[in-house]
């Protein structure tokens, strides 16, 4: 019953929060209207979301978000220095990261995270979804960079987004 009424509870929550933020209010009318929309929209767009999303370890997810925020901050400063310094010394490289993570949402979050942290942009996912092609602005040791990304980002995402 509850799964038929709310096929994607997380999506419902996210839409509700987004509606209230968009209107920048907690007025009763908007709370109710937002709730109605948040229930109806996942219902109508059900076939668009084939995968049911489960979050297994919310604490790991929170810690992951913290790590990413910190990395963005630190790496932004590093990249700003690289950009302003002499560009001839930069050693760009293609990294091909073998993926152990399988959930589609996990893969897209990993690709997004890699692009958001400065110095790396994810460029292409292989057709079999087993490896991610990443362009790095400056890398000296390729295998170390790959291992670092796998440990820092892929590991926690794998723990959080396992199949339900």
Partner 1 sequence: MLLEIILSALIIIGAIFTLVGSIGLVKLPDFYMRLHAPTKATTLGVGAILIASAVFFSLTDEGLSLHELLITLFLFITAPVSAHLMAKAALHIQAKQIERTKPIQKQTHSSESSL
How far out from the chain centre does Cα 12 lie? 19
Residue 79 near residue 118 (C-beta atoms within 8 A): yes
Beta bridge partners of 133: 96, 124
Nearer to partner 1, 52 or 142 (CB): 142
Binder of partner 1 out of 46, 96, 102, 163 (CB under 8 A): 96
CA 68 from centroid of its chain's CA atoms: 10
Which of 142, 138, 121, 139 shows the shortest CA–CA distance to 85?
Answer: 138
Q: What part of residues 22-81 is at the interface with partner 1 (CB under 8 A)?
A: 22, 24-25, 72-73, 75-77, 79-80
| Interacting span for partner 1 (CB under 8 A) from 34-42, 55-63, 106-114, 148-156 | 106-114
Partner residues linked to 96 by β-bridges: 133
- Does position 137 bind partner 1 by CB under 8 A? yes
Binding site for partner 1 (CB under 8 A): 18, 21-22, 24-25, 72-73, 75-77, 79-80, 83-84, 87, 90-94, 96, 98, 111-112, 114-116, 118-119, 121-128, 131, 133, 135, 137, 139, 142
């Amino acid at each position: 019953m509850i799964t038929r009424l709310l096929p994607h509870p997380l999506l419902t929550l996210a839409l509700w929060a987004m509606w209230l933020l968009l209107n920048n209010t907690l007025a009763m009318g908007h709370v109710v209207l937002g709730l109605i929309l948040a229930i109806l929209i996942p219902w109508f767009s059900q076939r668009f979301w084939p995968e049911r999303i489960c979050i297994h370890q919310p604490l790991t997810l929170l810690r992951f978000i913290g790590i990413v925020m910190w990395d963005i901050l630190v790496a932004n400063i590093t990249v700003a220095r690289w950009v302003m310094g002499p560009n001839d010394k930069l050693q760009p490289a293609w990294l091909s990261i073998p993926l152990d993570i399988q959930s589609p949402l996990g893969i897209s979050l990993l690709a997004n995270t890699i692009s958001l942290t400065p110095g790396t942009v994810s460029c292409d996912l292989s057709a079999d979804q087993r490896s991610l092609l990443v362009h790095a602005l400056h890398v000296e040791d390729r295998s170390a960079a790959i291992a670092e990304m796998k440990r820092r980002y892929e590991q926690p995402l794998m723990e959080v987004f396992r199949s339900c």
